[in-house]
Amino acid sequence: MKASFFKYLLQFKRPAGTSRGILQTKETYFLILEKNGKKSVGECALFRGLSSDDKLDYEEKLQWLVQNINLPKSELLKNLSNYPSIIFGLEQALISLENEEAFCLYPSAFTQGEVGIPINGLVWMGDKNFMLEQIKDKISAEFSVIKLKIGAINFEDEISLLKFIRNTFKYDNITIRLDANGAFSVSESLEKLKRLSDFDIHSIEQPIKAGQIATMKNLCATTPIPIALDEELIGYNHLFDKKSFLQEIKPQYIILKPALHGGFIGTETWIEASKSAGIEWWITSALESNIGLNAIAQFTYKLGVNMPQGLGTGGLFSNNFDSPLYISNGKLHYDPSKSFVFDY
């Protein structure tokens, strides 16, 4: 088996606002495998500034993988244990290489086009009018779950946006999720959560910055809104550590991103840990191209999910790859009559 890799810079159609700043581009890497005349691809979806493997030797580690690709899979995974996005790409490429169709990792009713995966409609940060426009668009597109990224504009403007949703649509028609990306200060977090709770919020992701374990534990115990941990999970790569972490903080939900949490195998150990702690979960993409998003979607469907997932990021980039994925009526679908356009 031969291997190679290359870097690719995804371009946002329009700047994407988060509490960590404005995103114009997203760097990613592709791992190419070749065996007996067949090729496969996996996306090593590094997230600069967020991934635990955002290290100076990232490309060196990819080069090591290329040179040692014929080692047993167990040895590869052991050596890559601190590089979750590379594990994510390796898993995709290996599974794809063994299947008849290059981009069909887990054949199912989803890949046959028979069913879709319910997803939330993502509203990016921006000025009040821009966010309001997105909210209206998502509801018109029949999303029943709206996820708003908050924390970058005036808090009172965010409150008014929530008032608009609740004054316009019945509570049982629209579910609201929030993602603060760690934007709240510790001193103001509980008071803000109390104010937000007036709007029947399903959950809020990462209200304060990751790494404040004692404070987050206390917040999860006293919050009027269920807390979903996201960035807080990054860097825990072993099952024992994951179980200990969840038993300590006791969040209401966790949000799993295969590219950040050790690929499919790492995601599955988080699910195992969450089940033992009685904590619910859902899966979210992390600004992958359609190559990585496709893999996550197929993996997610295989898990038998029923609550809406966070897989609606495929249309963000101007230079994404054409794929069978599309969104309709608040669900992510796969059209088996269409092909991926990826020249490798």
Q: Which residues are catalytic?
A: 149, 257
Output the six-digit token pair for 87. Answer: 């594990």
Alpha-carbon gap, residue 142 to 203, rounded angstroms: 20
Q: What is the DSSP-derived secondary structure letter of residue 120?
A: P
Instruction: Work out the widest C-alpha separation in the chain, in whole angstroms.
Output: 61
Output the six-digit token pair for 286. Answer: 């992390």
In b/e form, how buried is each residue of 317-337, taking b as 16+ CB within 10 angstroms? Answer: beebbebbbebeebbbbbeee
Output the six-digit token pair for 292. Answer: 């990585």
- The answer to whether 233 and 207 have CB atoms below 8 angstroms apart is no
Alpha helices in the chain (DSSP H): 58-67, 73-79, 84-98, 128-140, 155-168, 186-196, 213-222, 239-249, 263-277, 290-302
- The answer to whether 12 and 23 have CB atoms below 8 angstroms apart is yes
Q: How far is Cα of residue 50 from the mean position of the Cα atoms in its chain?
A: 12
Output the six-digit token pair for 244. Answer: 């200990």
Alpha-carbon gap, residue 128 to 17, rounded angstroms: 12
**Nearest to 142, CA basis, from 172, 120, 114:** 120
Coil vs helix vs strand at 70: coil
**Nearest to 291, CA basis, from 104, 106, 111:** 104
Amino acid residing at 115: V
What phi and psi values does residue 221 have, to the nearest 5 degrees?
Answer: -80, -20
- The answer to whether 116 and 298 have CB atoms below 8 angstroms apart is no
